Amino acid sequence: MSVAGGNAGDRNGYQLPAVHLAADRLPNQAACLIVCEPDELAIAAVRAAVADFDVEVIVCPDGARTLLEAGMRRADLVLLAATIPVLAAETVIRTLRQVANTPVVVGVGEGEGEMAADALAAGASRILPRPYQAASLRHALTGLATGGLRPGPLRRGALVADPLAYEVTLHGRRVPMPARELEVLMYLMRHTDRVVTVAELGPAIWPVKAQPRGNAVAAAVLRLRSRLGASPGGSDVIHTIRRGGYRLVPPDRSP
């Protein structure tokens, strides 16, 4: 199927490119996420949100390229900023809707409320506030993708966290782990190269409308450390950096 650009244009008269849907992906082929974002920090946030998943992230410079890539690669999900070059987000969404039911998430910043309404009217699947919050971004992207994003286990030395099975093992021994503490652990595992501050950890794990109060972050890390410490070699996995935050030190593979 296709939408030819020969007789259609956007509101500014730009000629729309032809959109051709590629054949279905192979069963074991990585999912495809198309991103059209002018902000490099936002792109970095998207990559971090799907870092644990088998997904190919394609960054497009403008709306026209987004349409081409979405068709050629048969995207599982498209993420657009509300304001993008060449073609308006609304135009991109309407064009995609003519050939596919690909979920489209639109990031909306301050003062772009009217654009959010236009995007929804055009067929957007969801609106996300910009700048993106890690937890809400991750939830939206992984929940909407048509092909399903397949998370794989995170491995840091002898420590393994599986987000799909909600299971943690240390030196091959299972460590019982509630969902929130698992998310904290996985965030620390993704950033073993540096110290993670309390101010960073809260917004990264807790939803925007349920931000932790008081010592909630410290309490969650304390419980997490206690659970890991119950297994041999687990007491020194998470280090507290005075006036800094927390850092995960991968345990050696030998207990």
Pick from 243, 237, 227, 178: nearest CA to 205: 178
Is 239 a residue whose pLDDT tops 50?
Answer: yes
Q: Which part of the chain is CATH 3.40.50.2300?
A: 2-144
Per-residue pLDDT, 23 = 45
Say what the pTM is.
0.56
Please report, rounded to a whole number, the percentage of residues in the chain having pLDDT higher than 70: 79
CA 39 → CA 67, 107, 124, 153, distances in Å?
Answer: 19, 11, 20, 29
Cα 43 to the center of its chain, rounded Å: 10
Query: Which residue ranges does the chain devote to CATH 1.10.10.10?
Result: 154-248
Q: How confident is the model at residue 141 (pLDDT cuts 50, 70, 90)?
A: confident
**Is residue 118's pLDDT more than 50?**
yes
Summarised one tens digit per residue, pLDDT across range 153-207 is: 788 888 998 876 778 999 889 998 888 899 899 889 888 889 999 888 888 787 6
Regarding the domain delimited by 154-248, which CATH topology (the fold level of the hierarchy) does it fall under? Arc Repressor Mutant, subunit A (1.10.10)
pLDDT at 149 over 90: no
**Strand 126-129 vs strand 154-156: parallel, antiparallel, or unpaired?**
unpaired
How large is the average pLDDT for residues 78-103? 91
- Sign for the CA dihedral angle at 165, 167, 170, 172 comes to negative
pLDDT score recorded for residue 213 = 67
Range 2-144: architecture per CATH: 3-Layer(aba) Sandwich (3.40)
Query: CA 208, CA 210: separation in Å to the nearest integer?
Result: 6
Percentage of residues in the chain having pLDDT higher than 90: 32
Q: What is the pLDDT of residues 8-56, one digit of tens each?
A: 455 555 554 444 444 454 444 567 899 999 999 999 888 888 777 767 8
